Structure 1
Protein backbone atom coordinates (compact mmCIF):
# COMPACT_ATOMS: atom_id res chain seq x y z
CA UNK A 1 0.00 0.00 0.00
CA UNK A 2 1.38 3.39 -0.97
CA UNK A 3 1.54 5.85 1.88
CA UNK A 4 -0.01 9.28 1.58
CA UNK A 5 2.43 12.10 2.16
CA UNK A 6 2.34 15.76 1.12
CA UNK A 7 3.06 16.26 -2.58
CA UNK A 8 6.48 17.86 -2.61
CA UNK A 9 7.32 17.73 -6.31
CA UNK A 10 7.65 21.49 -5.94
CA UNK A 11 10.33 22.18 -3.33
CA UNK A 12 8.58 25.43 -2.44
CA UNK A 13 5.85 23.31 -0.79
CA UNK A 14 8.38 22.41 1.93
CA UNK A 15 9.56 24.64 4.72
CA UNK A 16 13.31 25.04 5.20
CA UNK A 17 12.99 22.96 8.36
CA UNK A 18 11.31 20.09 6.49
CA UNK A 19 13.97 20.26 3.77
CA UNK A 20 16.66 20.01 6.46
CA UNK A 21 14.94 16.95 7.95
CA UNK A 22 14.79 15.21 4.57
CA UNK A 23 18.44 16.03 3.91
CA UNK A 24 19.26 14.46 7.28
CA UNK A 25 17.28 11.34 6.33
CA UNK A 26 19.16 11.11 3.04
CA UNK A 27 22.53 11.37 4.79
CA UNK A 28 21.50 8.57 7.15
CA UNK A 29 20.50 6.41 4.19
CA UNK A 30 24.01 6.81 2.82
CA UNK A 31 25.51 5.83 6.19
CA UNK A 32 23.11 3.13 7.37
CA UNK A 33 21.08 2.00 4.35
CA UNK A 34 18.10 -0.13 5.32
CA UNK A 35 18.68 0.48 9.04
CA UNK A 36 17.13 3.95 8.85
CA UNK A 37 14.75 4.60 11.77
CA UNK A 38 12.52 7.48 12.77
CA UNK A 39 14.49 7.72 16.03
CA UNK A 40 17.78 8.09 14.16
CA UNK A 41 16.35 10.73 11.81
CA UNK A 42 14.87 12.68 14.73
CA UNK A 43 18.22 12.60 16.50
CA UNK A 44 20.20 13.63 13.41
CA UNK A 45 17.74 16.40 12.51
CA UNK A 46 17.37 17.61 16.12
CA UNK A 47 13.61 17.28 16.11
CA UNK A 48 11.04 15.09 17.86
CA UNK A 49 9.65 11.83 16.53
CA UNK A 50 6.20 13.34 17.03
CA UNK A 51 7.07 16.05 14.52
CA UNK A 52 8.25 13.44 12.01
CA UNK A 53 5.03 11.46 12.39
CA UNK A 54 2.98 14.65 12.01
CA UNK A 55 4.76 15.65 8.80
CA UNK A 56 5.36 12.28 7.12
CA UNK A 57 3.11 9.70 8.80
CA UNK A 58 5.54 6.83 9.40
CA UNK A 59 8.88 5.47 8.23
CA UNK A 60 7.55 4.53 4.80
CA UNK A 61 5.98 7.98 4.49
CA UNK A 62 9.32 9.54 5.34
CA UNK A 63 11.06 7.41 2.72
CA UNK A 64 8.44 8.44 0.16
CA UNK A 65 9.05 12.09 1.00
CA UNK A 66 12.81 11.67 0.59
CA UNK A 67 12.26 10.19 -2.89
CA UNK A 68 10.02 13.09 -3.84
CA UNK A 69 12.56 15.56 -2.44
CA UNK A 70 15.36 14.04 -4.51
CA UNK A 71 13.19 14.02 -7.66
CA UNK A 72 12.25 17.68 -7.14
CA UNK A 73 15.90 18.59 -7.76
CA UNK A 74 15.49 17.64 -11.43
CA UNK A 75 14.04 20.85 -12.83
CA UNK A 76 11.92 21.27 -15.93
CA UNK A 77 11.51 24.89 -16.94
CA UNK A 78 8.10 26.02 -18.12
CA UNK A 79 7.99 26.66 -21.84
CA UNK A 80 5.91 29.15 -23.81
CA UNK A 81 4.18 27.02 -26.42
CA UNK A 82 3.60 30.05 -28.64
CA UNK A 83 7.25 31.13 -28.62
CA UNK A 84 9.09 27.85 -28.28
CA UNK A 85 12.05 27.60 -30.63
CA UNK A 86 14.85 25.09 -31.10
CA UNK A 87 17.24 26.99 -28.85
CA UNK A 88 14.84 27.09 -25.89
CA UNK A 89 13.79 23.47 -26.36
CA UNK A 90 17.43 22.41 -26.48
CA UNK A 91 18.23 24.38 -23.32
CA UNK A 92 15.29 22.83 -21.46
CA UNK A 93 16.29 19.29 -22.43
CA UNK A 94 19.94 19.90 -21.54
CA UNK A 95 18.94 21.32 -18.12
CA UNK A 96 16.78 18.28 -17.40
CA UNK A 97 19.54 15.89 -18.47
CA UNK A 98 22.16 17.71 -16.40
CA UNK A 99 20.01 17.76 -13.26
CA UNK A 100 19.00 14.11 -13.59
CA UNK A 101 22.57 12.90 -14.07
CA UNK A 102 23.72 14.99 -11.14
CA UNK A 103 20.97 13.60 -8.89
CA UNK A 104 21.40 9.92 -9.79
CA UNK A 105 25.17 10.13 -9.36
CA UNK A 106 24.91 11.56 -5.84
CA UNK A 107 25.72 9.32 -2.87
CA UNK A 108 22.22 9.88 -1.50
CA UNK A 109 20.43 8.71 -4.63
CA UNK A 110 22.69 5.68 -4.98
CA UNK A 111 21.98 4.67 -1.37
CA UNK A 112 18.24 5.26 -1.73
CA UNK A 113 18.03 3.24 -4.93
CA UNK A 114 20.03 0.39 -3.44
CA UNK A 115 17.55 0.17 -0.56
CA UNK A 116 14.63 0.29 -3.00
CA UNK A 117 16.13 -2.47 -5.18
CA UNK A 118 16.76 -4.58 -2.08
CA UNK A 119 13.10 -4.21 -1.06
CA UNK A 120 11.63 -4.89 -4.50
CA UNK A 121 9.57 -8.10 -4.41
CA UNK A 122 10.53 -8.78 -0.79
CA UNK A 123 7.13 -8.00 0.66
CA UNK A 124 8.76 -5.78 3.29
CA UNK A 125 7.27 -2.60 1.90
CA UNK A 126 6.68 -0.95 -1.45
CA UNK A 127 9.66 1.39 -1.57
CA UNK A 128 10.47 0.18 -5.09
CA UNK A 129 7.02 1.28 -6.25
CA UNK A 130 7.45 4.57 -4.41
CA UNK A 131 10.76 5.23 -6.17
CA UNK A 132 9.19 4.45 -9.56
CA UNK A 133 6.08 6.53 -8.92
CA UNK A 134 7.81 9.59 -7.49
CA UNK A 135 11.05 9.26 -9.44
CA UNK A 136 11.00 8.01 -13.00
CA UNK A 137 7.23 8.30 -13.56
CA UNK A 138 7.05 11.77 -11.97
CA UNK A 139 9.93 12.97 -14.14
CA UNK A 140 8.15 11.69 -17.24
CA UNK A 141 5.06 13.61 -16.20
CA UNK A 142 7.10 16.80 -16.05
CA UNK A 143 9.05 16.43 -19.28
CA UNK A 144 6.46 14.96 -21.63
CA UNK A 145 4.49 18.25 -21.83
CA UNK A 146 7.72 19.91 -23.02
CA UNK A 147 8.16 17.24 -25.68
CA UNK A 148 4.52 17.68 -26.73
CA UNK A 149 5.08 21.43 -26.98
CA UNK A 150 8.11 20.77 -29.19
CA UNK A 151 6.00 18.57 -31.43
CA UNK A 152 3.28 21.21 -31.62
CA UNK A 153 5.92 23.75 -32.67
CA UNK A 154 7.18 21.23 -35.28
CA UNK A 155 10.62 21.16 -33.70
CA UNK A 156 10.45 17.41 -33.03
CA UNK A 157 8.37 14.67 -34.55
CA UNK A 158 7.19 11.51 -32.81
CA UNK A 159 4.05 9.42 -32.55
CA UNK A 160 4.05 8.75 -28.82
CA UNK A 161 5.37 11.03 -26.07
CA UNK A 162 6.09 8.12 -23.71
CA UNK A 163 8.27 6.40 -26.30
CA UNK A 164 10.09 9.67 -27.03
CA UNK A 165 10.66 10.24 -23.30
CA UNK A 166 12.01 6.72 -22.80
CA UNK A 167 14.42 7.23 -25.67
CA UNK A 168 15.68 10.52 -24.22
CA UNK A 169 15.93 8.98 -20.75
CA UNK A 170 18.01 6.14 -22.18
CA UNK A 171 20.31 8.47 -24.10
CA UNK A 172 20.92 10.51 -20.96
CA UNK A 173 21.40 7.66 -18.50
CA UNK A 174 23.05 5.04 -20.75
CA UNK A 175 24.56 2.47 -18.33
CA UNK A 176 25.60 5.05 -15.74
CA UNK A 177 22.98 4.34 -13.07
CA UNK A 178 23.38 0.56 -13.04
CA UNK A 179 27.16 0.90 -12.90
CA UNK A 180 26.88 3.26 -9.94
CA UNK A 181 24.47 0.93 -8.14
CA UNK A 182 26.90 -1.95 -8.63
CA UNK A 183 29.77 0.02 -7.14
CA UNK A 184 31.62 1.21 -10.22
CA UNK A 185 33.43 4.46 -9.46
CA UNK A 186 32.22 6.41 -12.47
CA UNK A 187 33.90 9.82 -12.60
CA UNK A 188 31.12 12.35 -13.08
CA UNK A 189 32.32 15.93 -12.68
CA UNK A 190 30.05 18.85 -13.51
CA UNK A 191 31.97 19.30 -16.74
CA UNK A 192 31.50 15.64 -17.65
CA UNK A 193 27.81 15.76 -16.77
CA UNK A 194 27.39 18.91 -18.85
CA UNK A 195 29.02 17.26 -21.84
CA UNK A 196 26.89 14.14 -21.45
CA UNK A 197 23.72 16.24 -21.19
CA UNK A 198 24.57 18.12 -24.39
CA UNK A 199 25.46 14.92 -26.22
CA UNK A 200 22.23 13.17 -25.23
CA UNK A 201 20.15 16.17 -26.24
CA UNK A 202 21.80 16.44 -29.64
CA UNK A 203 21.37 12.71 -30.23
CA UNK A 204 17.70 12.94 -29.28
CA UNK A 205 17.12 15.88 -31.61
CA UNK A 206 18.92 14.05 -34.41
CA UNK A 207 16.57 11.10 -33.93
CA UNK A 208 13.34 13.03 -33.49
CA UNK A 209 14.02 16.39 -35.16
CA UNK A 210 11.17 17.40 -37.47
CA UNK A 211 12.14 17.53 -41.11
CA UNK A 212 11.56 20.96 -42.63
CA UNK A 213 11.94 22.51 -46.04
CA UNK A 214 13.57 25.85 -47.00
CA UNK A 215 10.54 27.79 -45.75
CA UNK A 216 10.26 25.86 -42.49
CA UNK A 217 7.46 23.69 -43.87
CA UNK A 218 7.24 20.01 -43.02
CA UNK A 219 8.46 17.79 -45.86
CA UNK A 220 7.60 14.41 -44.36
Structure 2
Protein backbone atom coordinates (compact mmCIF):
# COMPACT_ATOMS: atom_id res chain seq x y z
CA UNK A 1 0.00 0.00 0.00
CA UNK A 2 2.91 2.33 0.63
CA UNK A 3 6.53 2.46 -0.31
CA UNK A 4 8.64 2.14 2.87
CA UNK A 5 11.49 3.95 1.13
CA UNK A 6 9.37 7.07 0.46
CA UNK A 7 10.83 9.22 3.24
CA UNK A 8 14.46 8.21 2.64
CA UNK A 9 14.05 8.82 -1.10
CA UNK A 10 12.73 12.32 -0.46
CA UNK A 11 15.58 13.07 1.93
CA UNK A 12 18.17 11.81 -0.58
CA UNK A 13 17.32 14.47 -3.16
CA UNK A 14 19.97 17.07 -3.92
CA UNK A 15 19.32 20.82 -3.57
CA UNK A 16 19.20 21.03 -7.38
CA UNK A 17 16.58 18.28 -7.56
CA UNK A 18 14.55 19.95 -4.80
CA UNK A 19 14.62 23.14 -6.86
CA UNK A 20 13.03 21.16 -9.69
CA UNK A 21 10.26 19.97 -7.37
CA UNK A 22 9.75 23.57 -6.26
CA UNK A 23 9.29 24.43 -9.93
CA UNK A 24 6.70 21.67 -10.30
CA UNK A 25 4.72 22.95 -7.32
CA UNK A 26 4.92 26.53 -8.55
CA UNK A 27 3.62 25.55 -11.97
CA UNK A 28 0.77 23.58 -10.42
CA UNK A 29 -0.35 26.66 -8.49
CA UNK A 30 -0.07 28.92 -11.54
CA UNK A 31 -1.16 26.69 -14.40
CA UNK A 32 -3.02 23.77 -12.83
CA UNK A 33 -3.24 20.99 -15.38
CA UNK A 34 -0.90 22.60 -17.91
CA UNK A 35 2.14 20.85 -16.45
CA UNK A 36 4.61 19.46 -18.97
CA UNK A 37 8.21 18.30 -18.72
CA UNK A 38 9.15 21.15 -21.06
CA UNK A 39 7.49 23.74 -18.79
CA UNK A 40 9.25 22.31 -15.72
CA UNK A 41 12.59 22.32 -17.54
CA UNK A 42 12.15 25.98 -18.48
CA UNK A 43 11.11 27.01 -14.98
CA UNK A 44 13.93 25.03 -13.32
CA UNK A 45 16.54 26.08 -15.92
CA UNK A 46 17.52 22.55 -16.80
CA UNK A 47 17.10 20.26 -19.78
CA UNK A 48 14.30 17.76 -20.30
CA UNK A 49 16.98 15.10 -20.61
CA UNK A 50 18.10 15.89 -17.06
CA UNK A 51 14.52 15.57 -15.80
CA UNK A 52 14.12 12.18 -17.46
CA UNK A 53 17.47 11.06 -16.03
CA UNK A 54 16.55 12.10 -12.49
CA UNK A 55 12.86 11.24 -12.34
CA UNK A 56 12.00 9.07 -15.33
CA UNK A 57 8.73 10.13 -16.93
CA UNK A 58 6.11 12.69 -15.87
CA UNK A 59 4.57 10.28 -13.37
CA UNK A 60 8.00 9.77 -11.81
CA UNK A 61 8.41 13.53 -11.43
CA UNK A 62 4.96 13.85 -9.88
CA UNK A 63 5.65 10.93 -7.56
CA UNK A 64 8.86 12.57 -6.31
CA UNK A 65 6.96 15.82 -5.77
CA UNK A 66 4.24 14.13 -3.73
CA UNK A 67 6.80 12.16 -1.71
CA UNK A 68 8.66 15.35 -0.88
CA UNK A 69 5.47 17.09 0.26
CA UNK A 70 4.42 14.09 2.36
CA UNK A 71 7.89 13.77 3.94
CA UNK A 72 7.25 17.07 5.73
CA UNK A 73 4.59 15.39 7.86
CA UNK A 74 6.11 13.38 10.68
CA UNK A 75 5.78 12.88 14.40
CA UNK A 76 8.12 14.72 16.74
CA UNK A 77 11.33 13.08 17.87
CA UNK A 78 10.94 10.86 20.91
CA UNK A 79 12.90 8.21 22.75
CA UNK A 80 11.02 4.95 22.28
CA UNK A 81 12.44 3.56 25.52
CA UNK A 82 11.38 6.63 27.53
CA UNK A 83 8.04 7.40 25.90
CA UNK A 84 5.67 8.93 28.45
CA UNK A 85 2.35 10.77 28.32
CA UNK A 86 3.96 14.17 27.74
CA UNK A 87 6.28 13.08 24.93
CA UNK A 88 3.44 11.11 23.30
CA UNK A 89 1.17 14.17 23.34
CA UNK A 90 3.96 16.40 22.03
CA UNK A 91 4.71 13.98 19.18
CA UNK A 92 1.03 13.83 18.20
CA UNK A 93 0.87 17.62 18.22
CA UNK A 94 4.01 17.96 16.05
CA UNK A 95 2.54 15.53 13.54
CA UNK A 96 -0.77 17.42 13.46
CA UNK A 97 0.98 20.79 13.06
CA UNK A 98 3.08 19.47 10.15
CA UNK A 99 0.03 18.02 8.42
CA UNK A 100 -2.12 21.14 8.82
CA UNK A 101 0.74 23.31 7.53
CA UNK A 102 1.09 21.10 4.45
CA UNK A 103 -2.59 20.72 3.52
CA UNK A 104 -3.29 24.44 3.97
CA UNK A 105 -0.42 25.51 1.69
CA UNK A 106 -1.30 26.76 -1.83
CA UNK A 107 0.97 24.12 -3.36
CA UNK A 108 -0.80 21.24 -1.59
CA UNK A 109 -4.21 22.61 -2.51
CA UNK A 110 -3.21 22.86 -6.18
CA UNK A 111 -1.68 19.36 -6.14
CA UNK A 112 -4.75 17.77 -4.57
CA UNK A 113 -7.18 19.57 -6.89
CA UNK A 114 -5.20 18.30 -9.86
CA UNK A 115 -5.13 14.76 -8.45
CA UNK A 116 -8.90 14.77 -7.89
CA UNK A 117 -9.62 15.98 -11.42
CA UNK A 118 -7.32 13.32 -12.89
CA UNK A 119 -8.88 10.58 -10.76
CA UNK A 120 -12.33 11.52 -12.07
CA UNK A 121 -11.30 11.44 -15.72
CA UNK A 122 -8.67 8.67 -15.52
CA UNK A 123 -6.42 11.08 -17.41
CA UNK A 124 -3.35 9.95 -15.51
CA UNK A 125 -2.32 8.06 -12.40
CA UNK A 126 -1.86 11.22 -10.32
CA UNK A 127 -4.75 10.34 -8.02
CA UNK A 128 -3.16 7.00 -7.20
CA UNK A 129 0.24 8.62 -6.78
CA UNK A 130 -1.11 11.13 -4.25
CA UNK A 131 -3.05 8.44 -2.40
CA UNK A 132 -0.11 6.02 -2.15
CA UNK A 133 2.63 8.55 -1.42
CA UNK A 134 0.47 11.01 0.53
CA UNK A 135 -2.33 9.68 2.72
CA UNK A 136 -1.14 6.06 2.95
CA UNK A 137 2.54 6.99 3.45
CA UNK A 138 1.61 9.49 6.16
CA UNK A 139 -0.44 6.82 7.92
CA UNK A 140 2.53 4.47 7.94
CA UNK A 141 4.72 7.24 9.32
CA UNK A 142 2.52 7.70 12.39
CA UNK A 143 1.95 3.98 12.97
CA UNK A 144 5.20 3.41 14.97
CA UNK A 145 4.29 6.17 17.42
CA UNK A 146 0.81 4.74 17.95
CA UNK A 147 2.13 1.22 18.43
CA UNK A 148 4.92 2.41 20.74
CA UNK A 149 2.30 4.29 22.76
CA UNK A 150 0.22 1.14 23.06
CA UNK A 151 3.25 -0.95 24.03
CA UNK A 152 4.11 1.61 26.73
CA UNK A 153 0.58 1.29 28.11
CA UNK A 154 -0.29 4.88 27.16
CA UNK A 155 -2.79 4.09 24.38
CA UNK A 156 -5.56 1.55 24.03
CA UNK A 157 -6.79 0.51 20.58
CA UNK A 158 -7.28 -2.70 18.61
CA UNK A 159 -6.10 -1.61 15.18
CA UNK A 160 -3.45 1.04 14.38
CA UNK A 161 -5.00 1.95 11.02
CA UNK A 162 -8.40 2.58 12.61
CA UNK A 163 -6.77 4.63 15.36
CA UNK A 164 -4.91 6.65 12.74
CA UNK A 165 -8.12 7.38 10.85
CA UNK A 166 -9.65 8.70 14.04
CA UNK A 167 -6.70 10.99 14.67
CA UNK A 168 -6.61 12.04 11.01
CA UNK A 169 -10.25 13.08 11.20
CA UNK A 170 -9.79 14.99 14.44
CA UNK A 171 -6.86 16.92 12.97
CA UNK A 172 -8.28 17.65 9.53
CA UNK A 173 -11.96 18.14 10.41
CA UNK A 174 -13.44 20.00 7.40
CA UNK A 175 -10.31 22.08 6.72
CA UNK A 176 -9.06 20.29 3.61
CA UNK A 177 -12.41 20.00 1.84
CA UNK A 178 -13.15 23.68 2.47
CA UNK A 179 -9.78 24.68 1.04
CA UNK A 180 -10.19 22.40 -2.00
CA UNK A 181 -13.61 23.94 -2.71
CA UNK A 182 -12.24 27.47 -2.65
CA UNK A 183 -12.99 28.67 0.87
CA UNK A 184 -10.66 31.57 1.68
CA UNK A 185 -9.71 29.93 4.96
CA UNK A 186 -6.48 31.24 6.44
CA UNK A 187 -4.85 29.39 9.31
CA UNK A 188 -2.28 31.30 11.32
CA UNK A 189 0.60 29.51 13.02
CA UNK A 190 -1.13 30.07 16.37
CA UNK A 191 -4.41 28.63 15.08
CA UNK A 192 -2.64 25.58 13.66
CA UNK A 193 -0.87 24.98 16.98
CA UNK A 194 -4.15 25.36 18.87
CA UNK A 195 -6.06 23.03 16.54
CA UNK A 196 -3.26 20.45 16.65
CA UNK A 197 -3.23 20.45 20.45
CA UNK A 198 -7.01 20.10 20.55
CA UNK A 199 -6.91 17.13 18.15
CA UNK A 200 -4.19 15.42 20.20
CA UNK A 201 -6.15 15.92 23.43
CA UNK A 202 -9.36 14.62 21.84
CA UNK A 203 -7.54 11.57 20.51
CA UNK A 204 -6.02 10.88 23.93
CA UNK A 205 -9.46 11.24 25.51
CA UNK A 206 -10.68 8.48 23.19
CA UNK A 207 -7.66 6.16 23.19
CA UNK A 208 -5.41 7.21 26.06
CA UNK A 209 -5.04 5.30 29.31
CA UNK A 210 -5.45 7.21 32.54
CA UNK A 211 -2.54 5.20 33.95
CA UNK A 212 0.00 3.19 31.98
CA UNK A 213 -0.77 -0.50 32.07
CA UNK A 214 2.01 -2.66 33.50
CA UNK A 215 4.12 -4.31 30.82
CA UNK A 216 3.88 -8.07 30.54
TM-score by length of 1: 0.91
Aligned to 1:9: 7
Aligned residues: 210
Aligned counterparts of 1:76 and 1:59: Cα–Cα separation in 2? 30
TM-score by length of 2: 0.93
Gaps in structure 1 of 5+ consecutive residues = none
Q: Write out aligned runs for 1:12-91 (5 A).
A: 12-91=11-90
CA offset at residue 130 of structure 1?
Answer: 0.6
CA offset at residue 142 of structure 1?
Answer: 0.6
CA offset at residue 78 of structure 1?
Answer: 4.6
Aligned to 1:104: 103
Larger relative contact order, structure 1 or 2 (CA cutoff 8 Å, min sep 6): 2
Q: Write out aligned runs for 1:1-220 (5 A).
A: 7-10=5-8, 11-212=10-211, 217=213
Maintained 8 Å contact 1:120/1:128: yes
Identify, as 1 or 2, the structure richer in helix: 2
Aligned counterparts of 1:175 and 1:153: Cα–Cα separation in 2? 32
CA offset at residue 73 of structure 1?
Answer: 1.1
Aligned counterparts of 1:108 and 1:200: Cα–Cα separation in 2? 24
CA offset at residue 8 of structure 1?
Answer: 4.7
CA offset at residue 132 of structure 1?
Answer: 0.6
CA offset at residue 217 of structure 1?
Answer: 4.6
Gaps in structure 2 of 5+ consecutive residues = none
Aligned counterparts of 1:72 and 1:191: Cα–Cα separation in 2? 22
Q: Secondary structure at the match of 2:80?
A: coil
Q: Secondary structure at the match of 1:114?
A: helix
Maintained 8 Å contact 1:8/1:14: no
Cα RMSD over matched residues? 1.5
Aligned counterparts of 1:211 and 1:59: Cα–Cα separation in 2? 50
Maintained 8 Å contact 1:117/1:128: yes
Q: Secondary structure at the match of 2:33?
A: helix
Q: Secondary structure at the match of 1:151?
A: helix
